[in-house]
Chain A
Amino acid sequence: MFTGLWNYLSGYVIIELEGKALERFLNRLTHSGVEIWHIRRTGINTVTAHISIAGFYALRPMLRGQGIRVHILQKRGLIIRLSSLRFRKVLLYGWTVAAVLLIAASRRIWFIEITGLDTVPQQNILSVLAQNGIREGAWRSAVHTAPLGNSIMASDPRIAWAGAHLDGVTLRVDILEAGDAAKLPDHDPVPASIYASSDGVVSSVTVLEGRALVREGDAVKAGQELITGILRNDEANLIVTRAKGTVLAQVVYRFTASAGPKILAPQAGEEVERCTRISAFGKTFFSRPATDYAQETALFEGSLTNCFLPLTVQTLAVYPTVMKEITASESELRQAAMLAAEDAMERALPEHARILSKESTTEYREDGSVEAAITVITEENIGITKEFEATNGKQPQ
């Protein structure tokens, strides 16, 4: 299996034997223990073969008196290649020095890669590594990964875990930062109750601290106390807390807006501006006027569409857009009123409100205007926390 590799390492020559009775000579060679292989007849009196270097030197005395001549066709193998370098001593020294330097360099750390950093500065980690005697150029043997990870973890409380490992000449440090710690509850909270911010029908009450004063299905008014922070209030003791919880309620909103009988709409003004439009290869180059325009009129048009260059040049008179009061149609008025009502609704609804139902109507009045109305039912947390004015149980009015 490794014969070919061994032959290459030890070197061999390709020879040509020329003479008569070559088979007899080959038999003599094999009986003498000379390694010879890849024998091929190339002519009536010639045979080519591969022979080891030692075999070649053993072959030469056996040729005497046989009438056989030997020619070296080719020399092959690592030894033979290297032997050609035996007079190039400087090159060999260079190779040796390069190999030694390479081996020496591979025993040091040349790169430090730190991953997983988000809030902790990289310089902090590098300084911890430096304290442990690890920097670019340090010996690999100086790295003890387990203690190094522990010292990195101990250096900063924001680091939850740290690990280091060597990857060739690269030291890789993996950092896992700790997440935000949950805030501990206040041990000395200011007493407070939760009140309704708007009218509504309670759909669910979740009390974390305090005592609920309303139940599911109750209709509440704005300012009504929903969850009280007074747990006990008698002559002996006053136990208060800061009420916490959520009171979801269905709240009805109604938004109205009117439009007309005249509305402001963009229209072409009376001032005229001139501009030029050039079209070529499907693209348009346009010297736009300073403002938006509503209408354009072609003053000049020239085109070269029949030649290889499809070029069109236009000189235009454009009328800039101005806002003018116009008498709009009924559908335009309804659309404008609805847009205004929707705009009002978006501004008024709380962000966390979930819309349960939405109805919209428009009404055309005798004076030519249109009124739009949107009725929305939302479910939202209506509770707002208000602190007590004093710890004696007096509540805000």
Chain B
Amino acid sequence: MSKKKRKIRLGRRILESLDIPEECYSAAAKITLWGKETLLIEKHKGIFSCEEERVRLFTNLGILRIDGEKLTLLELSNERLYITGKVEGIAYEA
């Protein structure tokens, strides 16, 4: 195990022992779904593709795929993305 990875793991353990929420230090995307029609994705890394039935986003853990109907990117910024429309599924692509 490299020195860098060891440092990261140590830092994570310290933060976990302090009961700090993971979303504060994790680089993984945070996905919030309200009902069926509003989806908020934080800490995304950009749009990979945007269609009415499918939106694919770059994230720290790979490509996040959102399936649905009439999907619209209501708000787009560096780290936040609001999607409205009929959301039918969310999945990470292998």
Contacts and interface: CB of A to CB of B under 8 A. Distances in A.
Interface of A: 22-23, 26-27, 30-31, 36-41, 47
B74 interface: yes
Contact of A41 (B50, B77, B78): B50
B47 A37 contact: no
Nearest to A29: B76
A36 B76 CA distance: 6
Nearest to B51: A41
B39 to A, nearest CB: 14
A23 B78 contact: no
B interface: dominant SS: strand
A47 B52 CA distance: 10
Contact of B50 (A22, A30, A37, A38): A22
Contacts of B46: 23, 27, 30
A106 B78 CA distance: 50
A30 B76 contact: yes
Interface of B: 46-52, 72-78
B74 A23 contact: no
Contacts of B72: 38-40
Contacts of A26: 47, 50, 76
Contacts of B52: 40-41
A30 B78 contact: yes
Contacts of B76: 26, 30, 36-37, 39
Given A23-B50, A40-B52, 11 more contacts: A23-B46, A23-B48, A26-B76, A30-B76, A30-B77, A31-B78, A37-B74, A37-B75, A39-B73, A40-B72, A41-B50
A13 B15 CA distance: 46
A37 B80 CA distance: 11
Contacts of B49: 23
